Amino acid sequence: MNYLVKKLLYIICLICTTALQAQQLRPEIFSLIDLNYPGLEQVRSLHQEGNDVAAAEALLAYYRQRSHINHPEVNLNNVTISKQEQQWADDALEHTFFVHKGYQPSYNYGKDINWQYWPIKDNELRWQLHRHKWFSPMGKAYRVTGDEKYARAWVHQYMDWILKNPLTGTNKQPHKLISSGEVKRDAENARFAWRPLEVSHRLQDQTGQFLYFLSSPSFTPEFLTEFLVNYHRHALHISANYSDTGNHLLFEAQRMIYAGAFFPEFKEAGSWRKSSIEVLNREIHLQVYPDGGHFELDPHYHLAAINIFCKALFMADVNGFRNEFPATYLDTVENMILFYMNICFPDYTNPCFSDAKLGDRKNEQKNYLIWNRIFPDNQQIRYMGTAGKEGVPPHQLSRPFKHSGFFVFRNSWKEEATIMVLKAGPKGFWHCQPDNGTFELWFNGRNLFPDSGAYVYAGNEVMELRNWFRQTRVHNTLTLDGRNLETTESVCLHWQGEGEVQTLVTENPSYEGLRHRRTVFFVDNTYFVVVDEAIGNATGEVNLNYQLCEGEVKIDADRHILLSQFEGDSNVKLQCFAEKGTTLREEEGWRSTAYRQRVERTAVSFNTPKKQGDTTRFITVIYPVKDAAQAPQLSAKFTTKKFSENRVDVEVKVDNKSRKLSCEWQRDLRFTD
């Protein structure tokens, strides 16, 4: 035997020994599970005889034969693994753990795993280490290859994590425990390792990992008891530490349904399932507006919320308890899907308002096919899932979602469509940004005005970057002295979404002494006239901000014109008509395309000094056009000298063809339509 082979065998033995040494039979498991549960008769009698070693063996045999509990996402007869998952599984054998897409290549956590390693002080990097995203790929790799090395490594890492990440103090909020020395360090670590969202992530994924590895020789009776005791501690921890509200609470409740349904042998399983269905059913009505929008006003968390609600239903379906969900729950989920469909673009991406991720065509289209299984009669969901091959497109084009404050001007459901999605809603939850009045604009295959996005979430080193992308002034809306909005509480004064001229009037009490009223005319299903009025006694510089997508843009600062020079058949001419003294300023412009990824882009502001009591007014004509050289000549003016509380009148000329645009309203329609 050559030296290298000997060395390899030695390392394998060392790994096995370490794993086996770490695990021990945990007799408390026999008080955590209901020994009267059907199928556990032998476990009960062996335990009562005092033979816990044999009882643990019987318990493992029970789970290996168990066939009455199903998993909605794992089918052991058809396990597949992607190239990327295989890579994550293989990297994990070397303790190079896939933690976060925004931090690639992945970091190595050391031969003796350091679960407190925090190379960049972004909270997400530390939190998400404890989601163990490489464990399920290791499980798949094990099933696909049959190679025991994946199972051995998983058992070792699973035990190592338990030993090095104690749940300090009481089961109640360890992350709030303050102590000294070792305890303090453990408590600090527990703030990350035992944050309920991370705990719930493990609670969900470990159901699949259990199935993948259960048949492995490395999955010993002793390890089974360690696994179940640890899993039970996880479920109890969430029960006692549910987040107060928001998407975290939804994730936690959905995953508790997984715990209750997948391990019904635990004494509390029935109550876990029941109480988490109650949480989901309560929250779906609290967190979702009557128009179907989720209250974080973040398109991607909206999508995540749909998937949470659907996952709970799928788990119920495969295990026969769908009837525990009321009909109103399903109606709301369907409404959320229709909302999402309407605010998305033809390439299946969503606006990147708030902390939203862009999404991609393949995955987002697949979502509709998954949802179609729950709503088989909904032809619109079918249409989206099959990219128009089956089903029917939604019969409406432009749509207002007045409770959430999302307004969509749309002239088609096809790729060549012109679509503006404008955000002007109530104060949103944590992920929402102070961006009232902003919009994205799609034309003929390109998003011409994508949102700046989020870039990063939170953590000492990255907070400054996050704050840059959250600024009001990096959105397509109006600011005073470049400051963030003080109040984000838009109302819709008027909506008219059909015919030659479609209109939206929305108003936000942006700053003390300054209201921003924005009127949008969608003319001939072709171009937009945006009228901005800064009303009130505030003084300072009023800024009207616009950010285009990346690519070359010609700027005519004197005539206040932006003309894109993008390749392909999607361009835009933007011209702002404002009061004397208004100047065009080029601004720093970025858009985040994914976590910690950004591209530079053209950004400008039109700036007008505002004296006390004056209303500062702007008209911007935004004219999408295939070929920039063919862009029309534009002009626009107000036809009334003074601002009016209940009407807007302007005149626009496109290649000298004049058009009067007027809009009058009398009431706030936001909640009455």
Contact residues for Mg ion, defined by CB under 5 A = 433, 451-452
In angstroms, give the least distance from the CB of 575 to Mg ion: 24
Mind telling me the catalytic residues?
Answer: 301
CB nearer Mg ion, residue 349 or residue 444: 349
> Which residue has the CB atom at the shortest distance from Mg ion?
451
In angstroms, what is the minimal distance from the CB of 342 to Mg ion? Answer: 20
In the complex, the smallest distance separating the C-beta of residue 426 from Mg ion, rounded to whole angstroms, is: 17
Q: What is the enclosing helix (H) or strand (E) of 617?
A: strand 616-625
Environment class of residue 104 by beta-carbon count within 10 Å: exposed (0-12), middle (13-18) or buried (19+)? exposed
Alpha-carbon distance of 269 to 276, in angstroms, equals 11
Cα–Cα distance, 219 to 155 (Å, whole number): 7
Among the listed residues 505, 493, 512, 487, the one whose alpha carbon sits nearest the alpha carbon of residue 436: 487
**CA atoms of 520 and 116, how far apart (whole Å):** 51
Least separation in angstroms between CB 60 and Mg ion: 51
Q: DSSP string covering 489-538, please?
A: --EEEEEE-SSSEEEEEEEEEEETTEEEEEEEEEETTTEEEEEEEEESS-
User: Which C-beta is closer to Mg ion: that of 221 or that of 428?
Assistant: 428
Q: Count the Cβ atoms, other than its own, within 10 Å of residue 44.
A: 17
- In the complex with Mg ion, which residue's Cβ is closer, 174 or 453? 453
Helix, strand, coil shares of the chain, percent, nearest 5, are 40, 20, 40
Q: Positive or negative, the Cα torsion across 30, 34, 38, 44?
A: positive
Residue closest to 661 by CA, chosen among 496, 440, 536, 418: 496
For Mg ion, the closer of residues 218 and 433 by Cβ is: 433
List the one residue out of 300, 330, 304 whose CA is nearest residue 317: 330
CB closer to Mg ion, 72 vs 351: 351
- Residue 510 beta carbon to Mg ion: minimum distance, rounded to whole angstroms: 16
Tell the smallest beta-carbon distance from residue 435 to Mg ion (Å).
5
> Closest CB to Mg ion among 205 and 298?
298
- Amino acid in the structure at residue 137: P
What are the Cα distances from residue 251, in Å, to 72, 257, 485? Answer: 17, 10, 30
Least distance in angstroms from the C-beta of 353 to Mg ion: 6
The string of DSSP codes covering 33-83 is B-TTSTT-HHHHHHHHTT-HHHHHHHHHHHHHH--S---SS--TTS----H
Distance CA 512, CA 485 (A): 10
Nearest to 582 by CA among 555, 557, 547: 557
Residue closer to Mg ion by CB (options 137, 426) is 426
Q: Which is nearer to Mg ion, 352 or 650 (CB)?
A: 352
Smallest distance, Å, CB 157 to Mg ion?
A: 38
